[in-house]
Amino acid sequence: MLASAMLPRLMTRCSPRTPLVRPAPLALCRYYSSGAHFTKFTKTHEWVHYNEGTVTVGITDFAQKHLGDVVFVELPETEVTVEANEAVGSVESVKAASDIYAPASGMMVEANEELENNPGLINKSPTTEAWIFKLKVDSAEELKDLMDAKEYESFCSTSD
């Protein structure tokens, strides 16, 4: 089922006060925008969830399907300043390797260390448990040109 077709059904089930009945993609579930938090997507296939000055970043389901079985994740260093579009880590699979980019400038505050011992988690849960890093952004304005869910779906359909 296409993401845009799933979105209305997921949005009725997902709100800040209502827990999920069953796991749903974080990027779709939290697509609603209230100003304090929103989810966007990059052209390099990262999902970016903004929440009160900090973004959580991971690779999209589209990306993990194209990579295949993930065997290694190079996590970014924490407590370092990064620039927008800077390569901060990588994901390697049996088929290819792909850099992971910072969606905005800021301070790297956390990396998902669980991925060091369990890189395959990206294949199982790319938009929830397998987030890669958290970044305290200098300005949310840097995220304004990223794609929303509908734009990303269209982008993927032309990339395939």
Distance set, CA 132 to CA 14, 17, 48, 56, 126 (Å): 23, 25, 10, 8, 9
Helix (H, G, I), strand (E, B) or coil at 44: coil
**pLDDT at position 3:** 41
**pLDDT at position 159:** 76
Inter-residue contact 127 to 25 (CB < 8 Å): yes
**How big, in percent rounded to 5, are the helix, strand and coil portions of the chain?**
30, 30, 40
Domains and CATH numbers, the chain: 34-159 (2.40.50.100)
**pLDDT at position 92:** 97
**pLDDT at position 35:** 54
Task: Give the pTM.
Answer: 0.77
Taking 50 as the pLDDT cut, the residues of the chain under it are 1-34
**pLDDT at position 37:** 82
**pLDDT at position 91:** 97
**pLDDT at position 103:** 97
How does DSSP classify residue 49?
E
| Spatial distance between the Cα atoms of 41 and 43, rounded to a whole number of angstroms | 7
